[in-house]
Amino acid sequence: MKVVISVDMEGVCGVASWVQVSPPEFGGLVNGTEYQAARERMTLEAAAAAEGALAAGATDVLINDSHDTMRNLLPELLPPGVRFTSGNDKPLSMVQGVQERGVGALLFVGYHARAGSARGPLAHTWNGFVRNVRVNGTDTGEYGLNALLAGHYSVPVVFASGDDVAMQEITAELGEQVVTVPVKEGLSTFAAVHLHPAEAQRRIREGAEQGVRAAAHATPYTTRWPAACQLTLDHPARADQGERVPGITRVDAFTVGWESPDAPHLFQTFRMLAKVAEVRLNG
């Protein structure tokens, strides 16, 4: 069985500041010292999940770098034999690879809570100006959008690690079949109590193995189609731009809406609107 691991950085053990997840060219502190440490822990957590998947019998593990520029992994620290994807212009973005034949499980590593979540360290959805995403009345985050896209290809989510708020949200939306491993407890947007990195990696390894062993009985995530979708932004000017996209309607000052026939349409429409909304706010 093939396994895909989507690894983000905000949910990684030891991370509680935007400085830590920002490459030097985008504001990482002291020539990227904190970022370099975070990307190493990100890689080691992905490696731990891969080791767990392999121990559970996975025959092919693809690790998909899913953070920011998507050029963060240190491949020399990954287990021999795994494949990895890098670069931010990927058709399926954070879950690139789930469309491959034979993929039977998707694992989330380093995931964070959705935008607007209380106590979720660095909680956001996609970028800093998305306030909320709603699908058929359910508020969701990156985990939900990615799970729906994977579900389109009949791939279930079987494991997730990250902060405790994100793990609670994932369980509530995706169900108990997802083995969750919280590696830190959120105190506020910019503070958390963390496990020791070695302990976090041990728990991830064990949890990933447990999730992959049960993958044959897991159910891919889906919703009712066509789906009623809404995107709420942080400024009316961003919604102005989204409203001009064909097929998009204005819901209120901050929110636009649309109907999607399936998960790929939902996912790509969301990505397009998030990009279109990148507008200067000073006129």
d(CA 164, CA 260): 31
What are the strands of the beta sheet with 2-7, ordered from one edge?
83-85, 60-65, 2-7, 103-111, 157-163, 179-188, 191-194
Residue 216's Cβ-count burial label (10 Å; 0-12, 13-18, 19+) is: exposed
The H or E element spanning position 250 is: strand 249-250
Q: How confident is the model at residue 31 (pLDDT cuts 50, 70, 90)?
A: low
Note the pLDDT tens digit of each residue in 183-220.
Answer: 999 999 999 999 999 999 999 999 999 999 999 999 99
β-pair partners for 228: 259
Q: In this predicted structure, what is the pLDDT of residue 30?
A: 46
| pTM of the full structure | 0.96
122 pLDDT exceeds 50? yes
Note the pLDDT tens digit of each residue in 224-273.
Answer: 999 999 999 999 999 999 999 999 999 999 999 999 999 999 999 999 99
Note the pLDDT tens digit of each residue in 164-190.
Answer: 999 999 999 999 999 999 999 999 999
Q: How confident is the model at residue 26 (pLDDT cuts 50, 70, 90)?
A: low
Cα dihedral across residues 192, 193, 199, 202: positive or negative? negative
> Hey, what are 76's tokens?
């020399």
Cβ neighbours around 224 below 10 Å, total = 9
Cα dihedral across residues 165, 167, 170, 174: positive or negative? negative
d(CA 137, CA 140): 9
Q: What are phi and psi for residue 62, nearest 5 degrees?
A: -115, 120
Residues 6+ apart with CB under 8 A from 115: 123, 124, 125, 130, 131, 132, 133, 141
What is the average per-residue pLDDT within 18-29? 75
Tell me if 195 sits within 8 A of 183, measured CB to CB.
Answer: yes
32 pLDDT exceeds 90? no
Q: At what angle do helices 263-276 and 142-152 cross, to 10 degrees?
A: 140
Q: In this predicted structure, what is the pLDDT of residue 70?
A: 96
C-alpha pair distances (Å), 207 with each of 49, 85, 213, 223, 248 = 8, 23, 10, 26, 41
Cis peptide before 226 (omega within 30 of 0): yes
Domain residue ranges of the chain, discontinuous segments joined by +:
2-113+142-217, 227-276
- In CATH, the architecture of 2-113+142-217 is 3-Layer(aba) Sandwich (3.40)
Closest to 147 (Cα-Cα) out of 245, 61, 40, 221:
221
Cβ neighbours around 235 below 10 Å, total = 14
Tell me if 232 sits within 8 A of 126, measured CB to CB.
Answer: no
